[in-house]
Structure 1
Amino acid sequence: MKLNRKFALLLAGAVLAGALTGCGASGAPASSAASSEAAASSAVSEAASEPAAEAALPDGVYTADFDTDSSMFHANEANDGKGTLTVKDGQMTFHVSLVSKKIVNLYVGMAADAEAHEGDWLQPTTDTVTYSDGTSDEVYGFDIPVEALDEDFQLAILGSKGKWYDHTVRVANAQPAAAEAPADGTYTCDVTLEGGSGRATVESPAALTVADGRMTATIVWSSPNYDYMLVDGEKYLPTNTEGNSTFEIPVAALDTPLDVVGDTVAMSTPHEIEYTLTFTLN
């Protein structure tokens, strides 16, 4: 009887020791899990605190090419294959006017995924485009979110017949958008001259005339020795016969460098000198 009681006590002690060991075993993984959770939480916090990737361009408005893999899906010819890229708060959005109203929705991604993501379909705007012959037309345009410039991405289109098609597109060659021409009239503008030897200057401000949306600037050099200027391959002769050489030349855009050539006869032989003019309204 005493032996059985001693055996029972030993057995109870063994069970208790096992229970304590079990508690210790379960406690170690719990501590490890807590440590892992803390590490994960710390990693998330660090990731959240890191600054977002900066856009390729500073905030502003640009023109950019819209390259596609299709002769049927492209920017309207009135816009010379280009659209408007807007960068705001680091986010890039590209607006393109298409050739008609036959494409009714766009989806950034694959056509096979479009049906399941109707909330992400891009909705059209109604744009008016004007062609080189003066005629105009209403077409659909779209605002397309752009993750990266000069890189291909998938853009599915939904035609008016209700079928989705896959296309590969690219927004490329972004350039600062030129300021629009002011209303017809006469203005003054500051002129910045770069190039040449630095000895020649032009009068600033200069007179700027706008007629039918086309801008013409009156350039007065600091020398009477310029006998012609070249702008976009066209030759322009002086408008005066006495005093410093004066020219009336076309200005394609404000706030945008314009490459010109001035031919001077001040030296023993005539020399064509390359300059850059930039016009800014006062």
Structure 2
Amino acid sequence: MMKKRYVNLLLAMVSASALMLGSVSVLAESDSAKTESGENAEAADEKDVSTDKENTLEDGVYTAEFDTDSSMFHVNEANDKKGKLTVKDGEMTIHVSLVSKKIVNLFAGTAEDAQKDGADIIEPTTDTVKYSDGYTEEVYGFDIPVPAIDEEFDVAILGEKGKWYDHKVSIKNPVKEDAAETADDSDKKDDDKQSKGKKLKDLKLEDGTYETEVTLTGGTGKATVESPAKVEIKDKEATATIIWSSPNYDYMIVDGEKYEPVNKDGNSTFEIPVSVFDAEMEVTADTVAMSTPHEIDYTLNFDSSSMKKADK
């Protein structure tokens, strides 16, 4: 009988030890899980803070891309898909010039919310844009609140017919204007170096009639001039004969002087002075091909390395 009680007591002690070890193991696992969970939460918080810092712009003015989901609602081509982003006290607003005056209002949100009482409707500004061919036009512009960079958000537009439409837009690649100006200054210095080119005296050519390759840039890119062009050198001055690909140019301006065409039939032809070779020489040409005459800025580049005496 005593032996049986001893065995039962021993079994009870073993069972109690097992229960205690099990409890310790469960508690350890629980503590480990809590620690791991806490570490993950802390890491997530740190990631969110890091992301917030990356997405936060310091106060200032930026140039930024304005993307939309519509070919009818976008930045005017004269502004290269970009608008002016202003950041002040953490609030962001982008000003964009559109393609016309057909969009009369905007709303930062959905079309449904735009029609509710008290909706904060965005009124237009009248902006003047200048195209690459020198033509200017008045269009509507808007100041749009920006909730975040690189994230789509809702913007509703109101057309001339009084109907609201939903659209998605996003702001990308903001560049602070100071940085942009620095880049522009650098480009300008490079341009200044290139613009020096060569003067006629540097070429050391005798008087006579020459031919040289000439390149035209500017405008819409549709107009061209004949190349090679004839260049007459006389009394230390160079005069080029410029023949356009169109008969619609009625005068040119070079260094502030106005030049009339030297022909009455065929494509417009001008005799103009050449002030520099191997660099961009700025000229202006007036075209009557549009509904009203327009002065368009171009550059001509005369390649001195291609100059040769013209055949007699």
Question: Fold-level match, TM-score > 0.5?
Answer: no
TM-score, normalising length: structure 2: 0.41
Which has the larger helix fraction? 2
TM-score (norm 1): 0.44
Between structures 1 and 2, the one with greater strand share: 1
